[in-house]
Chain A
Amino acid sequence: MSARSVDLLVIGAGPAGIAAATEAAGLGLSVSVMDEQSRPGGQIYRGIETASPKRLAVLGKDYAAGRSLTESFRSSAAEYLPDTLVWNIGSDRSVDFSRGGRAQQMNPSAILVATGALERPMPIPGWTLPGVTTAGALQILLKSSGIVRDNCVLAGAGPLLWLVATQMIAAGARPAAIVENLPRGRIVAGLRHLPGALRAREYLFKGLAMIARVKAAGVPVYANATGLAIEGSTQAEAITFSSGGRQHRIETDAIALHQGVVPNQQITRLVGAEHRWDAAQACFHPVLDARFRTSADSIYVAGDGAAINGARPAALQGRLAALLIAEDQGRRVGTERIRRLQAGIARDKSVRPMLETIYAPAPEILAPADSTLICRCEEVTAGEIRSVVDLGAPGPNQIKSMLRAGMGPCQGRVCGLAVAQIIADRKGETPEETGYYRIRPPIKPITLAELAAYAPDEDAPRAASGDAAA
């Protein structure tokens, strides 16, 4: 059996991935799209193909706009491989993946990583109790299954927190409260960037309208909350915090946390691409040139996996990346189209400095108390990480060896940034100097049965997966 070759493999079927695949297929490239979900749309347009008119109305027009993207993708010549897990990429770009219980291999000439964002870890006491989810999880329940939770407390900060609140209200499930942990002074600091942000003012109007709708619905909003903690023994029972100079305790068994989203680094780390620490956003970005190229040969990134900009610019970036990849592969591409896409992306990005200033993570989330669990899988606390740093552990990989943090099934997806930040702060350096977990294949657990069925091309050069040094 020989592994298939394609001009372009797109990993991820969110807006960036499907827009790129549609565009590249239109230019005559052979394109495959692999995605872990059963239907296209990613998390932002999750359930878009199956959502009822009622669900579309509740979720709003920005969500409904995703349908034209998935329709164009479905009618394109791109091959779509849903329910497919990419678990290794070799230095020769050979891609190992599992589909239908069988491991297989593909050899693309170029790879576009469009794996989007993850929610930033928000480690507070009690965040592992059943009943506590991310705000994104609450939204996914609504998008994919039309499920809402009544009397939910939304805690944290960020545009998504307000969006989820308005969608819950529209669905008839008004949240019990919003506990916003935005530090004082952030709005004023953000106003400095208002003139630039006015280029994409519709985002600002949407944000203000969301906040107004939540307040008009009578949802109590606790501002500048600090000391957030969740109580409970076998499930969440209450959230406690300080706000307005008083200590509060709200009894609830449903709490959704949010502290912004960050690029999903698993694949760009796996291929050894260079990453840079963004101090303002407290996250890592893969380093890209103006043509969306990483430092790894013929591996590109578009969308929120490169830097957080949102769904609309992600789709524009996907299209632009496809044009540039086609050009890199010797196709002729119209320069006017490239210029228009670049202008559209720049316009949408103009709102980011203001949003990033206002919604940078709260300092207390970046510096959790010693007793707070950081690694949910292996139950490692902030204090344990700090004490191993004091013993001389230089970075996340040593913390992983000594404490198993990041060694559980999530492989650091949830805790990675928190662990890097805690180590860096303890050592008095930047997370750029501290570094990040070394991400090794398989990047998600696969079964021995899947591996047993693995039959890659015998003649093809083998992946760097065997190169497990250090």
Chain B
Amino acid sequence: MVPSRARRIEEVRTISFEFEGLAVQAQEGDSVAAALTAAGIVDLRDSPVSGAPRGIYCMMGACFDCLVEIDGQPNRQACMCEVREGLVVRRQQGRAELEL
């Protein structure tokens, strides 16, 4: 198989954030989901039912498949959150715990 490398057709201002402890380069205006896609990261969470891996699907806030934990807050739609310098993003595993 020829891998489907994701890449950018132009460069703008670069910012950096963290995904699962790894530094990820993003560009201003990217959603978290877009930046992860450009970095070649497709596995964003485990389904809460079977534990199967999931990634981006609709990129427009409808499908909720790209749920991740952002700065400690679970259940964030990666496609609806704009990247900011220093964000800490983690894969979401199963159902989010409710902290009271």
Contacts and interface: CB of A to CB of B under 8 A. Distances in A.
Interface of A: 36, 38, 43, 47, 50, 52, 54-55, 58, 118-119, 128-134, 136-137, 140-142, 144-152, 171-173, 176, 234-235, 237-238, 251-254, 264, 376-379, 408-410, 413-414, 444-445, 447
B87 interface: no
A173 B5 CA distance: 10
Interface residue tally on B, bucketed by range: 35 or more
Contact of B2 (A130, A176, A414): A176
Contacts of B35: 145
Given A252-B4, A378-B49, 10 more contacts: A128-B57, A128-B65, A133-B55, A137-B60, A144-B34, A145-B34, A150-B4, A238-B1, A253-B3, A376-B63
B54 A54 contact: no
Interface of B: 1-10, 12, 27, 29-31, 34-35, 37-38, 42-44, 47, 49-50, 52-65, 67, 73, 75, 79-80, 82
Contacts of A238: 1
B45 to A, nearest CB: 9
A233 to B, nearest CB: 9
A409 B4 contact: no
A141 B37 contact: yes
A414 B9 contact: no
Given A130-B55, A134-B57, A172 B4 contact: no
A55 B10 contact: yes
Given A38-B82, A376-B65, A408-B64, A146 B8 contact: yes
B19 to A, nearest CB: 14
Contact of B59 (A130, A141, A237, A410): A141
B6 A133 contact: no
Contacts of A444: 61
A253 B27 CA distance: 24
Contacts of A172: 9
Main secondary structure of the interface of B (DSSP, over half): loop
A414 B34 contact: no
B1 A146 contact: no
B75 A131 contact: no
B59 to A, nearest CB: 4
Contact of B38 (A136, A145, A235, A377): A145
Given A379-B47, A379-B50, A148 B9 contact: yes
Contacts of B52: 128, 379
B84 to A, nearest CB: 12
B79 to A, nearest CB: 8
A224 B3 CA distance: 26
A40 to B, nearest CB: 14
B4 A132 contact: no
Contacts of B57: 128, 132-134, 137, 376, 414
B63 A410 contact: yes
A132 B63 CA distance: 13
Nearest to A175: B4
Contact of A130 (B27, B31, B53): B53
Given A141-B34, A376-B57, A148 B3 contact: no
Contact of B75 (A130, A413, A445): A445
Given A130-B42, A253-B1, A445-B75, A55 B59 contact: no
B7 A148 contact: yes
Contacts of A43: 60
A266 to B, nearest CB: 9
Nearest to A377: B64
26 contacts: A43-B60, A47-B29, A54-B10, A55-B10, A118-B62, A128-B54, A129-B55, A130-B42, A130-B44, A130-B53, A132-B57, A133-B57, A137-B60, A144-B30, A145-B38, A148-B6, A149-B4, A149-B6, A150-B2, A176-B2, A237-B1, A253-B42, A264-B62, A379-B49, A410-B64, A445-B75
A427 B6 CA distance: 45
Given A50-B29, A147-B34, A131 B42 contact: yes
Contacts of B6: 141, 147-150, 254
A251 to B, nearest CB: 4
Contacts of B9: 54-55, 58, 142, 146-148, 171-173
Nearest to B3: A253
A9 to B, nearest CB: 20
A119 B60 CA distance: 10
A414 B57 CA distance: 10
A445 B54 CA distance: 19
B44 to A, nearest CB: 7
A36 B55 CA distance: 21
Given A130-B43, A410-B64, A150 B7 contact: yes
A408 B65 CA distance: 10
